[in-house]
């Protein structure tokens, strides 16, 4: 499956206004990425539902999509992140459970290759505790960066916040995670090497 470029995405969005079937190009191009991000944050069952809801909401809102403001990818991540906010309590409980037990409640073994950005065996529980203690906005920015693979501009577009806010939230989240990892005897280079910092 080839990934559509932004101009093609924008054209598919525009075409979908008169031909709803053209929206399938957006779905085909971005569903797997959005689903993987949601899976990592909320688990399989929630990811399946949230990913479907993300694209249903995007389809409903396609008339309001402004290609000059945001690319399709960050726009979709913004919708997905907003839907995730309803699952925040569950996510925090899962992170606390992971921190207590060392067993990741959402990571399925067949996603190990996809999740190479975070070494769950070496620092997973302490990292989970760190993520659980972050402010929701800081956690959203950090996970869009680390697990969503979005850049600063894309995160700003996805969350409708200034790039400066993205930078400060990411800096604050990284600093907090480094403090927790170093307090637990982990090298502060760990999260940088695994994609939590950059």
Question: What's the Rg (C-alpha) of the chain?
Answer: 17
For the chain, what is the mean pLDDT?
79
pLDDT in tens, 43-88: 888 888 899 999 999 999 999 998 887 789 999 999 999 898 877 6
pLDDT in tens, 85-101: 877 666 667 777 777 77
DSSP for the chain, written as a single string:
-PPPPHHHHHHHHHHHTT-GGGHHHHHHHHHHHHHHHHHHHH-HHHHHHHHHHHHHHHHHTGGG--TTT--HHHHHHHHHHHHHGGGHHHHHHHHHHHHHHS--SS--GGGTTTTTTS-HHHHHHHHHHHHHHS-HHHHHHHHHHHTS---HHHHHHHHT--HHHHHHHHHHHHHHHHHHHHHTT--THHHHHTTS--
Question: With bands split at pLDDT 50, 70 and 90, how would you rate the model's confidence at 197?
Answer: very low
Q: Cα separation of 13 and 24, whole Å?
A: 10
pLDDT in tens, 100-159: 776 665 555 444 444 444 444 555 666 777 787 888 899 999 999 998 999 999 999 999
């Amino acid at each position: 499956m080839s990934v559509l470029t932004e101009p093609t995405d924008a054209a598919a969005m525009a075409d979908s206004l008169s031909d709803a079937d053209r929206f399938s190009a957006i779905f085909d191009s971005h569903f797997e990425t959005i689903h993987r991000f949601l899976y990592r944050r909320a688990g399989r069952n929630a990811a399946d539902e949230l990913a479907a809801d993300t694209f249903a909401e995007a389809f409903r809102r396609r008339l309001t999509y402004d290609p000059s403001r945001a690319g399709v990818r960050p726009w979709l991540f913004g919708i997905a992140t907003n839907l995730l906010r309803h699952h925040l309590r569950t996510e925090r409980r899962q992170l606390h459970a992971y921190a207590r037990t060392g067993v990741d409640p959402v990571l399925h073994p067949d996603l190990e290759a996809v999740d190479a950005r975070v070494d769950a065996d070496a620092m997973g529980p302490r990292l989970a505790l760190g993520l659980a203690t972050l402010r929701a906005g800081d956690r959203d920015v950090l996970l869009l960066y680390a697990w969503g693979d979005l850049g600063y501009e894309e995160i700003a577009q996805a969350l409708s916040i200034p790039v400066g806010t993205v930078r400060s939230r990411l800096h604050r989240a990284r600093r907090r995670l480094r403090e927790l990892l170093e307090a637990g005897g982990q090298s502060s280079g760990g999260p940088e090497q695994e994609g939590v910092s950059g």
